[in-house]
Amino acid sequence: MNNLKGINDVKGHAAGDQAIKTMSRVIVNCLPERCYLYRLGWDEFAILFCSTALDKCEETIDRIREEMSKTNYSCGIGLAAWDSALPFEIIYNLADQRMYEDKKRSKE
């Protein structure tokens, strides 16, 4: 989630909690079957797409962006596809890196 600290600092933690709840509801409502949302930390979430084609993942991300644009909140999103030849940590770090790049682009 972008700017959660700013929301908490200016509007208070109840507003920050509401932002997180709104964002998570938007994401869950966009997910196809066999996809799961996990909260990793304070303002970071991960979606696990199970047996989902990459183009379907990209379509879901586009839908999340579209639905988030209807709220007062935004989020950076990074996608990385599973590759059984690579350790999970490398794939996760790639998605994380892409998320930060997306966040940076949204601030430009």
CA dihedral 64, 74, 79, 30 (to 10 degrees): -20
Q: Whose structure tokens read 């990074």? A: 78
Q: Where are the domains of the chain?
A: 4-107
Q: Whose structure tokens read 């066999």? A: 34
CA–CA gap between residue 42 and residue 84 (Å, rounded): 29
Q: Is 28 helix (H, G, I), strand (E, B) or coil?
A: helix
- SS3 of 78-97: the string is CCCCCCCCCCHHHHHHHHHH
Domain 4-107 CATH superfamily: Reverse transcriptase/Diguanylate cyclase domain (3.30.70.270)
The share of the chain scoring above pLDDT 70, in percent, equals 98
Per-residue pLDDT band for 108 (boundaries 50, 70, 90) equals low
> What's the pLDDT score for residue 60?
97
CA–CA gap between residue 18 and residue 3 (Å, rounded): 13
Q: What is the pLDDT of residues 49-89, one digit of tens each?
A: 999 999 999 999 999 999 999 999 999 999 999 999 999 99
Is the pLDDT at 97 greater than 90, yes or no? yes
Per-residue pLDDT band for 42 (boundaries 50, 70, 90) equals confident
The whole-number average pLDDT for the span 11-39 is 95
